[in-house]
Structure 1
Amino acid sequence: MSDKMIHAFPGDEIDVYWDKRLCIHIGECVQANNSLFEGEREPWCVPDEVPKAEVREVCERCPSGALSYVDKDGTAEQPAPENTGQVVYNGPLYLTGELDIEGAPEDMPGVRFRVALCRCGASKNKPFCDNSHSEVGFEDFGAIGQSGPGLDPGLEATGGPLKIKAIPDGPLKVEGPLTLKAASGRIAWQGTKTALCRCGASKNKPFCDASHRTIGFKSAPD
């Protein structure tokens, strides 16, 4: 792990890790009603301040995967039982579940369970959100018009592996059981295969409509 980008906060029973590369400062950690995280304190995270069950719960609130933990009794984070995508008003796509993001670095354990993916096309840390949507004035209120093909009635659950592949200069290809929620919180779409816009230009957000070709979207710097 990079000492500059990943900060460790050791505790007697559980260690917490904060990944600066992924943090988009939503504040779920510092707003928690306990003293695990305190912004003006040094260090700002003290795992021994609260029971380790609370440490795990607060870390798992982080929608970007920037927070992760190592429980010293071997208890590992488990994926949510349902793969869910939450479209954020004028912002990213939050995914939770059993996530398999192709090419995600091994030292980003949190994104196996929780991630914020760029929808505006401007992130300097693609496919992850870095809050560039605020800088470029990205606007999408998060409505979803399609309902999707639905999930296979034979599936025992709405979870399981969800494969996410960022197509070079193209969309996010998603395969596996997925439930998408509109920004309003409404369950809007269900299916097992789709392509999601990450260039910011689709007229059918959050889905790709091939606008990336029209605008010459580049997923990596020239």
Structure 2
Amino acid sequence: MSDKQAIDYPGEEIDVRWDERLCIHIGECGQAKGDLFVGGREPWCIPNAASSAEVREVVERCPSGALSYTDKSGLPESAPAENTVTVVYNGPLYLTGDLRIEGVAEDQPGLRTRAALCRCGASKNKPFCDNSHLEARFEDFGAVGEKGPGLTETGGPLTVKPMPDGCVRLDGNLTIRAATGRVAWEGTTAYLCRCGASKNKPFCDGSHRVVSFKSE
């Protein structure tokens, strides 16, 4: 995790936090209609410019977990009913669900339900994406060829464990979506490539050992 810091934007009914360490500038916040987020304005985010419900809805669009909120009514962000990994075209892995990411501190609340994990191997903020795939010209269109063993239920905790100098292991009820949005794989344990070299993306095939991938 980089040494950049999080910024808090207080409101009367709800507070918003932006964690620069996780932001990959997808723009779901800035493109949202209304005055909650306005680029070039100081402050950039004004929680009082929208209802609490709208603030929650817009913040939860953030795929990286860089945005989070504290609703003063006590209403927390709830985990989605399904744990999902979406393989992004030429980009990271988007995770949503009841996430238990190894090593994540309590000061990163957005990562409890949303995260963008590096799969090009070049991020300087591993295991999270920092857009290094753009400079590295990482190319993988997000097709998924395997179906997995299937699921008997959905939801529940999803443990995310980045293995030292290796893949990321996911344990829990899990659905993997191809970049097209298609439900491609379902199961309870997956080993996903994060070195960028696997010939069976998004799954690990041991190529991290061949390319001497380093997770630190």
- If the length of structure 2 is used for normalisation, what is the TM-score? 0.98
Tell me, yes or no, if structure 1 residue 71 matches structure 2 residue 67.
Answer: no
Amino acid paired to 1:134: L
Report the counterpart of residue 17 of structure 2 in structure 1.
Answer: 17
Shift of 1:147: 0.4
Gaps of 5+ in 2: none
Amino acid paired to 1:185: G
Tell me, yes or no, if structure 1 residue 216 matches structure 2 residue 212.
Answer: yes
Report the counterpart of residue 44 of structure 2 in structure 1.
Answer: 44
Task: For residue 142 of structure 1, give the secondary structure of its aligned residue in structure 2.
Answer: coil
Report the counterpart of residue 146 of structure 2 in structure 1.
Answer: 146
Aligned mates of 1:132, 1:3 — CA distance in 2: 17
Question: Is 2:4–2:21's contact at 8 Å kept on the other side of the alignment?
Answer: no
Aligned mates of 1:207, 1:3 — CA distance in 2: 30
Match of residue 169, structure 1, among 165, 168, 178 = 165
Aligned mates of 2:125, 2:203 — CA distance in 1: 21
Deviations 1:14-37 (A, max 9, x none): 000000000000000010111100
Aligned mates of 2:4, 2:196 — CA distance in 1: 31
Aligned mates of 1:81, 1:64 — CA distance in 2: 18
Match of residue 182, structure 1, among 178, 181, 196 = 178
Aligned mates of 1:182, 1:65 — CA distance in 2: 21
Report the counterpart of residue 5 of structure 1 in structure 2.
Answer: 5
Amino acid paired to 1:213: R
Q: Which runs of 4+ in 1 moved over 3 A?
A: none
Shift of 1:5: 1.1
Question: Is 2:84–2:176's contact at 8 Å kept on the other side of the alignment?
Answer: yes
Report the counterpart of residue 112 of structure 1 in structure 2.
Answer: 112
Deviations 1:146-167 (A, max 9, x none): 001101x3x3xx1110001000
Amino acid paired to 1:140: D
Task: For residue 53 of structure 1, give the secondary structure of its aligned residue in structure 2.
Answer: helix
Report the counterpart of residue 84 of structure 1 in structure 2.
Answer: 84
Shift of 1:199: 0.3
Matched residues, number: 215
Deviations 1:86-128 (A, max 9, x none): 1000000000000000111221110110000000000000000
Change (3 A) 1:190 1:36: same
Aligned mates of 2:196, 2:4 — CA distance in 1: 31
Gaps of 5+ in 1: none
Amino acid paired to 1:215: V
Question: Is 2:155–2:173's contact at 8 Å kept on the other side of the alignment?
Answer: yes
Report the counterpart of residue 193 of structure 1 in structure 2.
Answer: 189
Identical counterparts, % of pairs: 67
Change (3 A) 1:51 1:3: farther
Aligned mates of 1:103, 1:6 — CA distance in 2: 17
Change (3 A) 1:191 1:60: same
Amino acid paired to 2:161: K
